[in-house]
Structure 1
Amino acid sequence: MFGFGLPELCIVAAILLVVAGPSKLPQFGQALGSSIRGFKKALNSDDSVKIEEKR
């Protein structure tokens, strides 16, 4: 997972806990999850945009 192991993830979680406090962590998790879902949805969509040249 991007070169992160369990020890690195624990350190990042501890830093977030100290900086943000325990009341803000669920909001961070929710925002991260929705961002990842949106990114995956955008990658899997078949929407293509045609770019036409002006002549």
Structure 2
Amino acid sequence: MGIGVQEMIWIFLILVLLFGAKKLPELAQGLGKGIREFKKAAKEIEEDGAGGEKKISSDKTETPSD
């Protein structure tokens, strides 16, 4: 159940009425930047998490020499 073409048109028309045609490109640009930064942060967390798991598992295999 995704958003169809008719729903997209309604959403666009409502946005034009709320913000005006001149403000929409600025809003879209800000939204795009926000999405890019979110994806970048998620990727960094994923990469850091994968490296941390390897380190933890290697630490568990070591036995103390007491």
Residues 8-40 of structure 1: CA distance to partner in whole angstroms, max 9, x if unpaired? 111111000011101100111001100110111
Q: Which moved more, 1:16-25 or 1:39-48?
A: 39-48
> Which residue of the partner structure matches residue 10 of structure 1?
9
* Cα-Cα RMSD: 1.9
Asked which structure has the greater CA Rg, the reply is 2
| Higher RCO (CA 8 Å, separation ≥ 6 residues) | 1
Aligned to 2:19: 20
For 1:25 and 1:19, locate their aligned partners in 2 and report how far apart those are by CA, in whole Å: 10
Structure-2 residue corresponding to 1:31: 30
Structure 2: give runs of 5+ residues left out of the alignment. 50-66
Structure 2 letter corresponding to 1:11: W
2:55 alignment partner in structure 1? none
TM superposition score normalised by structure 1: 0.71
Distance 1:27 1:11 in 2: 20
Instruction: Give the TM-score of the pair, scaled to structure 2.
Output: 0.61
Higher helix share: 2
